[in-house]
Chains A and B, each alone.
Chain A
Amino acid sequence: MGIVKRVNSKKNRALLLQLVKTDFKLRYQGSVVGYLWSLLRPLFMFLILYVVFTTVFPLGRGVPHYPVYLFVGIILWNFFAEMTQQSLGSIVGRGDLIRKIRIPRWMVVFSTSLNALINLGLNLVVLMVFMALNHVAPLATLLWLPLIVIEVYIFGLGISFFLAALFVKYRDIQYVWELILQAGFYLTPILYPLTRIENPTFQKILFMNPMAQAIQDARYALVSHDNAIVTIWRAFDGGWYALFPFAVVIALFCVGITYFRNQQNSFAENL
């Protein structure tokens, strides 16, 4: 596809930089603390969930460093949700550019996703501080984290391209996707440890979701190798089925890109 070559062209790099900068500046336009919100939002969400799930419904008992465990899940999920939701409206939102200049369409979605990635980066810094405060011993598996982030990013990007193109034609997708994300939040083991689900078949079914696999892997890599943190390898006991989530990521990415490429010529007309 030559996408790397296209990103590397001087013109496209300059444009991408400006698109990302503009999004960044406009995100919290007119708010007092501005960009701090992208850190405060997941932090507050964490605080609420933490209080609820340690005092009211103590789900996290038996999980080492449950606060950190919870926080890892929240920021990865937030990254995925934010990226897909914002990309969904990106083509429509940049309609003025699409209808009037020759701007590579993919760049609009790509720049939005990069902004989500920047946000994730900031949140990961907060996470590291948080880990230090919680006396989580750094693990060598920390080095896996970039790979896990790349996996979630590719997963989100495929879906983003698909949704952004679909939204041009069907404006309901926004609400449908909101509902899917809501359901996804509870289908993904973010709040509850997987050890709570005793039926191994259910565990395996839940792991078909790449977000479940990625979040559990991230927890394993960052927080603890304790058996209370069930990863897909543990659930499938090393079987090849454990590669299923990666296949989902690649398949959805291809579907998303293909659909986007097929639709992109008619964006200007359909907007």
Chain B
Amino acid sequence: MGKDKGHLVITDDPNDDIAIRVEGVYKSFRLPHNKQSSLKGSLINLVSRGDRTFETQEVLNDVTFGIKKGEFFGIVGRNGSGKSTLLKMLAGIYAPSTGKIITNGSLTPFIELGVGFNPELTGRENVYMNGALLGFSESEVFEMYDDIVSFAEIERFMDQKLKNYSSGMQVRLAFSIAIRAKSDILLIDEVLAVGDAAFQQKCYAYFDKLKEENRTIVLVTHDMSAVNRFCDRALLIENGKIKAIGKPSKVSNQYTLDNIEAPSKRNDTSRLRLNNGVKKLDIELRKPAYKQSENLVFDIKYELDNANPIDFGISILSQNLSIIEQNTKGIEIDTTPHKELTLTFTIPLRMLNAGQYRIDVAAFDRPSFSLQAFHVDAATLYIKQNGDVRGGILNEVGTWAQK
């Protein structure tokens, strides 16, 4: 039945300064094409084994790393990269397929806020239940009950059923209990994704406190600013493998860069219309992303059927609004037919703000200026932030003066 051979070892060794050790961990899920959760399906499959089809999805592939006691450790990666699976394995919720995970010390996972909350119970009853899930006895919860309630700011509602709470109240209550956790190791998954700005501030304050207390934290997040601000080390995971591990700045930069690179590879909105003797019309960017201080340099690759004189025009657009348009009027253009030719265009980017832009390219008949070929969205241009974030498309235009 595809039994998992890997295992999780839970120890509590104060002399070992490693909190979590992950050694050669693989994890794969078997995904049946038509999930057989009925006996009939299984019986049919027992008879005709050949028909049973399932995919094995490799989620983690030979992952090895360690987290020291007292470390604030970030795990980042795109959706589906395997980071949440990794966290669930650290938490002992999933078992590794092969390999070994050792956790040293008491551990509490926060995969979600308010796990075990029951809408049919009152706020008070839920506090006791949740407290027990964090390992507190009734008398311990009783002692901190008032603090929990006042921190959540819902004193008046504690004897009402949870189903009558707003989602904000539920989150506040859950968070207020969660931060009582006394475990040596805390695993936190995207808790920050819920809640408003004020709530995020509370979370950040809690993280600061945890850092002061020298607790071991594993934080799974998409938020690079949180990684840079809190983490001592971070891990970037891609397609189930460790892509980078080490300084948070290094890891978060790698993550940001990866996210910029990825979409430019698939230009689904690209549309090319060729006629009247133009056989190819493309744009090749020299780099996937540019800084504002750089010059944008790209090549127009074209191939012609005949030697008739021709002109090119490019347009740089932001959200379908053309910002820059240039054409080759009055410039010598090579029109040797049946040969791939290159025309290079250079423009400084300092006037543009960071963001994503679209580049269109067109070819025109020289004297008549009639359209010969048109490539919409031939390339996507990414301009990276330099310093502060500014609004608007154009960068630093105009000067101020006061009388």
Contact = CB atoms under 8 A, between A and B. Distances in A.
B95 A265 contact: yes
B40 interface: yes
A141 interface: no
A18 B95 CA distance: 26
Contacts of A96: 115-116
A100 B115 contact: yes
Contact of B125 (A19, A22, A98): A22
A173 interface: yes
A97 interface: yes
A85 B93 CA distance: 25
A15 B137 CA distance: 8
A136 B295 CA distance: 102
Given A14-B136, A22-B118, A172 B40 contact: yes
A14 B39 contact: no
A266 B4 contact: yes
Interface SS, A side: helix
A255 B133 CA distance: 29
Contact of B94 (A19, A169, A269): A269
Interface in B325-340: none
B91 interface: yes
Contacts of A173: 39
B111 A18 contact: no
Interface in B16-54: 29, 37-40, 42
A99 B95 CA distance: 12
Nearest to A13: B137
B29 to A, nearest CB: 6
B121 A26 contact: yes
A248 interface: no
Nearest to A268: B93
Interface in A4-33: 10-11, 13-15, 17-19, 21-22, 25-26, 29-30
A25 B88 contact: no
A11 B129 CA distance: 12
Contacts of A14: 131-132, 135-138
Nearest to A166: B39
A26 B136 CA distance: 22
Interface in B112-149: 112, 115-116, 118, 120-121, 125, 128-129, 131-133, 135-138
Nearest to B133: A101
B132 A15 contact: yes
B121 A97 contact: no
Contacts of B38: 170-172
Contacts of A269: 29, 94
Nearest to B93: A268
B92 interface: yes
A15 B136 CA distance: 8
